[in-house]
Each structure stands twice: as C-alpha cells, then as structure tokens.
Amino acid sequence: ETGVTQTPRHLVMGMTNKKSLKCEQHLGHNAMYWYKQSAKKPLELMFVYNFKEQTENNSVPSRFSPECPNSSHLFLHLHTLQPEDSALYLCASSQEFGRNEQFFGPGTRLTVL
C-alpha cells in the first residue's frame, strides 16, 4: 500500500461525457502530480501542484482540467476527450516540490470510446 489512492480504478467514457479522476494522499506530502502513461511511450508529466498551487502545466490540452482543493486531494476533470486520450493516469506525491522521491498511486485506466 503506497499511501496514495486513486478512484475510480477503471473508467470508460464517451467523447461527449464529463468525468473526474480523484487522487488522495495520506503521506502528509505537499506536492502532487498527474502523469499520463500511454502504451509504448514514456510517462508524461501533465500537472504539478505545490501547496495547492499549480506550478507546472506541461502543455496539456484544455480538455484536461486539474483541481487541487488542498494538499491531500487532487482531481483531474475530463471533458470532450478523444480516443487517443485513453491511457493509464497516475497520481503521485512527494514531500516537497522538486528533487524529492515521488510515490505513485495505483492509477486510473481510462478508455475513451
């Protein structure tokens, strides 16, 4: 058990749906991250939050909208996604922003039809 939980674990949605992914960390960390893992591609950093403030948006399309209401919770709101957005979405946290070991959640397997 890593101390980082994600829900749902699996999600199937149509291109016109709106859904949200949730991440919660129980480690007392101050930084949280969203990554995308597609088949045959390296993990891609999407967003970074430090003390609830977004510090990095790695050129992610606006159909992905992150929200960090506090340092323990992170959401990824999804709308009008494309089939190529199907992937494993991983949440991670670290003690402090930058240069710290990151701990990953189990991921949400997203399929866009």
Binding residues among 2-41 for other proteins as defined by CB under 8 A: 2, 4, 40-41
Q: Give whichever of 16 and 59 is closer to other proteins, judged by the CB atom.
A: 59
Using CA atoms, how far apart are residues 25 and 57, in angstroms rounded to an integer? 20
**Burial letters 46-55, b for 16+ CB under 10 A, else e:** bbbbbeeeee
Q: Extract the tokens encoding 97.
A: 């922003």
Does 60 bind other proteins (CB under 8 A)? Our answer is no
Applying CB under 8 A, which residues contact other proteins? 2, 4, 40-43, 45, 48, 55-56, 58, 90, 92, 97-99, 101-107, 109
